Amino acid sequence: MIEVIAAVAGASISVAAMGAVGFSRKSDEARDAVIRLTSAVEHIASQLEVLHQDIKEDRKETFSRLGNVEQRVSKLEAKP
């Protein structure tokens, strides 16, 4: 009888240890996934910032050119 109880206790401890190892492995995988996702989001944010700066520069250049064109058109319209 004692051998059966000892065998059941040993099996229970083994199952608990295997579950803890599996949980730890899943926890490590989840942590790694969160780290990868965080890195990806930070990279995307930095790329968006670069894109935003490029768009601002393009708009500045476009509106500058548009202003020049408007001035030329108004000069042409003023001539009889």
Please spell the DSSP secondary structure of 17-78, one letter per residue. Answer: HHHHHHHHHHHHHHHHHHHHHHHHHHHHHHHHHHHHHHHHHHHHHHHHHHHHHHHHHHHHHH
Q: Does residue 57 have a pLDDT over 70?
A: yes
Q: Looking at per-residue confidence, does 7 or 40 come out higher?
A: 40
Q: pTM for the complete prediction? A: 0.54
28-42 pLDDT, tens digit each: 888 888 899 999 999
